[in-house]
Structures are given as C-alpha cells and as structure tokens.
Structure 1
C-alpha cells in the first residue's frame, strides 16, 4: 500500500522545493521592470538583448547586458513608478564613487555597488568581459535615448 518516506528523503524534498522557490523569487518587480524596459528599447529581431544581472536599490538599478558581440551596463532611475535609463557604460559604473558622481546619494551608491559586486560573482568571466567592452560613459536624455551624435549599437 503506502510506503513511509524516510526523514532524509523528506528533508531532501523540502530543500529542493525551497531552492526552486528561492530561484523564482530572486527577481523582484523592479528587476523585472528594468529587464522589460531594456528589452523593449533595444531588442532587434536579429539581435535580442540578454539582460543579467540586474540589481535594484532605493529607486536605482544597474543592469548588465549583452547583444551579439558587445555588452555593457545600464544605470537606471525610477521616478514616479517609471524606470528610465540614466546612462550606459562599461566597468566605469561598478564602484560607489562613480555612482556618487552620477548623482546618487552616498548610502544608495554604496549599497548599489555592493549589490552589483555580489550579483556579478556568479557571472562567467567571458560575459563580464563583454560588459567591459562598452567604452566611455554615455548619458541618456530625459526620454532615455542616446544623444543624437551617439550611434553605438546595443
């Protein structure tokens, strides 16, 4: 009839369930909204954007992205419930000092830089190298667009 399940088997099953729930809950609404914005802005039929990791802290987010053979990071701000891209860069926006220079409060800049460093620990080295390929720091306009003189592909 029914066979009793051993305690180790029950514990293993519980760990599997908790692990799967933790994985699905890892991305919150801010991270998903950032991904959606970047995809809707930069996806092309022939070149889909791959966005990960995304970290969000106190109304600011940083998203790593790759598209084809290039990549970079986007810094975003949430104003009145809407995310907008502030700037695009490579490694330049990985540290708290650069985030402070971009106008982010010191405590938020520190927390954002720490969250990014932690998230990027699991990113493969070849993907991190693609993020670094974006040269310079490109500020975005109020609508989240690159300035007209900038024609760098995402």
Structure 2
C-alpha cells in the first residue's frame, strides 16, 4: 500500500511540474518575440536595449525598456502572428484607461494594466524611473517606424 501511495505521489508531483512548465511555455514565445522585435529595431552597436519586463495578453504586449540613460515602454500588437509596435510611451501607458484610448478592448486593457503592474512590482525603482523618462505618446506607423518629425504629437 505504501508503494502505491509513493507512486501516486510521484505521479502527482510530476503532473504539477509539467503543468507549471506548460503554463510558462505558453507566455514565453510571445515575450521572446516581443524582445526580438525591439532588439532588432532599436539596438545600436554602442547601446544595446535592455527589455524587461514584458507582459503579453490577448494579442497585445507592453514591454519596459532601457537604453543608455533613457527608457520607456512600448505597446505592441500581434497581427496575424506578427508583432508590431503600436506606440512608445513612458508612464502614460500604464493605466487601463490609456490602453482603452489606444484602441484595446476594456476587458483586455484592464487585464493588461493589472499584469503590467504586477510585473513591475519586482523592477528596481531606478529602472522604473528610467521608464518614466520617455515623454508623451509616440504612435508608430504600420511598419513599426516612428513617423516623420513633423507628424509627431509632441
């Protein structure tokens, strides 16, 4: 009888571990794709981008980034399996209201803002301050590029 309990205990433990791995594997491909896009777009030989945290949900993602002495957050959207940058911002994009204003459905905006707040709880204060240095909201074009300077809102 003890042998049966031991086998069941080991099986249950293995299932819990596999379930945990499956849950983390679901989020990682989107987060990795977001990081890859931001690195390929903004990395410079003398100034590599540091991207973290990244939260992805329902086809949208928000990524905090720093590069040199500056930083910000990027809002991204997954269209047909391809991530594109929607806008760059500082603290302005942290709220569900701002996400709704950017065109995200209210339930997704609320969940994304909550996920970002949770992820940023582990970010050091000096890094969070760097995210806030990005001023205004800068919309990106369909190709994920900054618009010409005369089209910028700030």
**TM-score, normalization by structure 2:** 0.81
Could you say which residue in structure 1 is the equivalent of 2:6? none
Deviation at 1:28, TM superposition (A): 1.0
Cα 1:95–1:131 change in 2 (3 A) is: same
d(CA) in 2 for partners of 1:28, 1:50: 17
Could you say which residue in structure 1 is the equivalent of 2:111? 111
Could you say which residue in structure 2 is the equivalent of 1:6? none
Could you say which residue in structure 1 is the equivalent of 2:79? 79
Could you say which residue in structure 2 is the equivalent of 1:59? 59
Could you tell me whether the CA contact under 8 Å between 2:27 and 2:56 is conserved in 1?
no
Deviation at 1:27, TM superposition (A): 5.4
Are residues 1:36 and 2:36 paired? yes
Could you say which residue in structure 2 is the equivalent of 1:90? 90
Q: Once superposed, what is the RMSD of the aligned Cα atoms? A: 2.0
As a proportion of its length, which structure holds more helix? 2
SS of structure 1 residue aligned to 2:149: coil
Could you say which residue in structure 1 is the equivalent of 2:8? none
Unaligned runs of 5+ in 1: 1-16
* Runs of 4+ more than 6 Å apart: none
Could you say which residue in structure 1 is the equivalent of 2:5? none
d(CA) in 1 for partners of 2:69, 2:120: 19
Are residues 1:47 and 2:70 paired? no
Could you say which residue in structure 2 is the equivalent of 1:12? none
d(CA) in 1 for partners of 2:98, 2:138: 13
**TM-score, normalization by structure 1:** 0.81
d(CA) in 2 for partners of 1:81, 1:43: 23
d(CA) in 2 for partners of 1:114, 1:43: 28
Work out the number of aligned pairs and report it: 132
Deviation at 1:26, TM superposition (A): 8.8
Could you say which residue in structure 2 is the equivalent of 1:133? 133
d(CA) in 1 for partners of 2:33, 2:25: 14
SS of structure 2 residue aligned to 1:146: coil
